[in-house]
Amino acid sequence: MTAILQITDTHIVAEGVLVSGKLDTGAALKRLVSRLCSIHDQIGPVDAVLVSGDLSDDGTAESYERFKALVAPLGLPLHIIPGNHDAREPMRAAFTEQLPGNGPLNWHVQVGNVHMIGLDTLVEGHRHGTLTHETLTYLRNALIRANGAPVLLALHHPPFPSGIKFMDDIGLTNRGAIKQAVSGYSGKMHIVCGHIHSMMLTSIAGHLAISAPSPNSTFEYDQRADAPVGFFTQEDGCLLHRWNDGFQTVRIGPVAGAGPYSF
């Protein structure tokens, strides 16, 4: 049994600062971490935390240190990838024990029975994401090393269209490249991402792709070309990916309602 928590789009800034003048992202993450700690016995042992980008909202060293302090109560190994709000070098400096010393922030680790592969889609100075030739080569080689074992493949920008135009306009520029890269993998694979602050599921080359919710905000599903551009102040939770002769993904909400009541 292997269990990996996925948290995404925390958008941490300095204490006392509100993101876009509205969101206390630090408080929202603190509430989610407290919730996860309180239900530890319910969800069972967890092996690691995957953070699928936009840890920071401004890419500052201070924001990464605050992020680490906020998630420290989980007491779990962290595996992180950058999002479009992150900054590669400050992130590398803050997580030197996990991230490569130079180049793209790509990595491949084995957690229990699962091979976790993290891909860097960051195009610094822009909001869209791209899988460079170097990163795609890294992915192909990592899948060769995984050799048919279960894979949890993570990137920030969704490798699929969300249907939300203003988010797809700043999405992954070469979605077809990842489809081609994973199409021949014979093992079980879940492809996970963030960026769109909501949970969506689709299929890519026969593998399930899932986006995770954000602890602090969401984007409304609105396919109209003239849909209002902006976020909603809705706090959500995270995902728990479990491997036990097959993948299971569970959404963990930020709060629990009253109950349980008998049927």
Q: Which of 91, 70, 60 is nearest to 10 (CA)?
A: 70
Q: To which CATH superfamily is domain 2-252 assigned?
A: Metallo-dependent phosphatases (3.60.21.10)
Strand order in the sheet with 189-193: 107-111, 114-118, 151-154, 189-193, 207-211, 200-204
Contact between 175 and 136 (Cβ < 8 Å) = no
Residue labelled with tokens 């989610």: 32
Given this model, what pLDDT does residue 257 score? 84
- Residue ranges of alpha helices (H) inside 95-251 are 133-146, 165-168, 175-182
What CA–CA distance (Å, rounded) separates 50 from 15? Answer: 23
Predicted TM-score of the model (pTM): 0.96
What CA–CA distance (Å, rounded) separates 162 from 152? Answer: 20
Ranges assigned E (strand) in the chain: 2-7, 48-52, 78-81, 107-111, 114-118, 151-154, 189-193, 200-204, 207-211, 238-243, 247-252
Q: Give strand pairing partners of 247.
A: 243
The three-state secondary structure class of 72 is helix
Contact between 157 and 171 (Cβ < 8 Å) = yes
Rg of the chain over all Cα atoms, to the nearest angstrom: 17
Measured between alpha carbons, how far is residue 159 from residues 9, 130, 189 in Å? 16, 10, 14
Give, for 25, the enclosing helix (H) or strand (E): helix 25-38
Residue-level pLDDT, tens digit, the chain, 263 residues: 999 999 999 999 999 999 999 999 999 999 999 999 999 999 999 999 999 999 999 999 999 999 999 999 999 999 999 999 999 999 999 999 999 999 999 999 999 999 999 999 999 999 999 999 999 999 999 999 999 999 999 999 999 999 999 999 999 999 999 999 999 999 999 999 999 999 999 999 999 999 999 999 999 999 998 899 999 999 999 999 999 999 999 999 998 888 889 99
Contact between 14 and 64 (Cβ < 8 Å) = no
Number of C-alpha atoms within 13 angstroms, CB side, residue 260?
Answer: 2
Residues 6+ apart with CB under 8 A from 98: 78, 79, 80, 107
Query: Which tokens hold the place of 22?
Result: 């509205």
What DSSP designation does 52 have? E
The total of other beta-carbon atoms located within 10 Å of residue 15's CB is 12
